[in-house]
């Protein structure tokens, strides 16, 4: 029988060519690609694989670029937001510092106003106290002087103020002779402060009538001698009278009045150079 032969050029035919040596890659027959023969499945897959790999690689690269761009955009957005927050915080901090400084200035101004108000209040209180406080003034009445007798002086107290003087206490003394003024100075330093120890005393209401004013009497520590009486009569010496009156107002504020008189037997009265003060 004769072997059947096919006239289809694209049909695979037995390879009658001599076998190529082992190790040398066979040369593919590409004639069928020029005469319109369909490619074999294996060859088509081999030729299509590189294109698919390149397509996958290009898609991955594009995806990575997109992801990188998204990440970069997100980072930039976060940086921008953070920068804005930092700017706002810095601005808020500056505003807070300004408010703190302004508040401190206002506090200092308020303290200054409060101090000024307190000072004005104190001055007003002082002026009010000076205008409404009691003013107790002493008067001395010298009794007739006789030889070999102590000298008697009556001390009266008049309140010329506008409020009562309470807890009023008076101390006084009489000095004669050559050392009378020195002894009077010593009395104000040593004995006058003892009047502040008194916790009780009379109440003297405001009055301008000397007849209604109470008085107390003080005596000299020694009797007058003939020579001292002669010196008093010729005006070469005088009787020194010292007194201090301490008193309080109804608010228990302490005041006192000092007085120092020089009495002459002729009836003349003079004030000492010191110790005639109202405190």
Domain parsing of the chain, residue ranges: 39-132, 136-278
Contact at 8 Å (CB) between 196 and 168? Answer: no
For 1, the 3-state DSSP assignment is: coil
Model-level pTM?
0.56
The reported pLDDT for the residue numbered 45 is: 52
Contact at 8 Å (CB) between 229 and 148? Answer: no
Handedness of CA 142, 143, 147, 149 (dihedral sign): negative
Q: Which residues, at least 6 apart from 226, have a Cβ–Cβ distance to it below 8 Å?
A: 147
Give the Cα separation of 94 and 47 in Å (integer).
71
The reported pLDDT for the residue numbered 214 is: 65
Give the Cα separation of 196 and 191 in Å (integer).
10
Give the Cα separation of 59 and 51 in Å (integer).
12
Which regions in the chain score pLDDT beneath 70?
1-56, 128, 208-214
The reported pLDDT for the residue numbered 245 is: 92
CB atoms within 10 A of CB 158: 19
Q: Which helix (H) or strand (E) holds 93?
A: helix 41-132
Say which CATH architecture domain 136-278 belongs to.
Sandwich (2.60)
Could you give the angle at the alpha carbon of 258 between the alpha carbons of 145 and 132, nearest 5°?
A: 130
Q: Which residue has the tokens 């200035």?
A: 105
Q: Which residue has the tokens 């008093």?
A: 232
Phi and psi at residue 270, in whole multiples of 5°? -130, 155
The reported pLDDT for the residue numbered 91 is: 78
The reported pLDDT for the residue numbered 213 is: 67
């Amino acid at each position: 029988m004769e072997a059947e032969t096919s006239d289809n050029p694209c049909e695979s035919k037995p390879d009658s060519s001599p076998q190529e040596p082992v190790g040398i890659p066979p040369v593919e027959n590409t004639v069928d690609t020029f005469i319109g023969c369909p490619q074999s499945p294996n060859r088509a897959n081999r030729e299509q694989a590189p294109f698919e790999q390149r397509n996958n690689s290009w898609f991955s690269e594009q995806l990575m670029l997109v992801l990188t761009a998204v990440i970069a955009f997100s980072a930039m957005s976060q940086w921008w937001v953070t920068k804005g927050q930092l700017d706002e915080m810095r601005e808020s901090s500056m505003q807070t510092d300004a408010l703190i400084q302004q508040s401190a200035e206002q506090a200092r101004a308020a303290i200054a106003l409060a101090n000024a108000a307190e000072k004005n209040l104190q001055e007003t209180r002082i002026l009010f106290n000076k205008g409404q406080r009691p003013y107790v003034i002493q008067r001395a009445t010298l009794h007739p002087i006789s030889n070999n007798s102590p000298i008697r002086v009556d001390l009266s107290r008049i309140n010329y103020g506008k409020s009562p003087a309470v807890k009023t206490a008076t101390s006084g003394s009489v000095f004669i002779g050559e050392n009378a003024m020195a002894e009077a100075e010593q009395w104000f330093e040593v004995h006058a402060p003892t009047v502040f120890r008194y916790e009780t005393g009379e109440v003297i209401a405001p009055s301008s009538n000397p007849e209604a004013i109470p008085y107390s009497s003080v005596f000299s520590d020694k009797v007058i001698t003939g020579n001292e009486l002669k010196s008093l009569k010729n005006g070469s010496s005088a009787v020194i009278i010292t007194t201090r009156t301490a008193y309080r107002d109804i608010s228990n504020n302490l005041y006192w009045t000092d007085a120092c008189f020089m009495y002459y037997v002729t009836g003349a009265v003079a004030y000492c150079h010191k110790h005639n003060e109202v405190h």
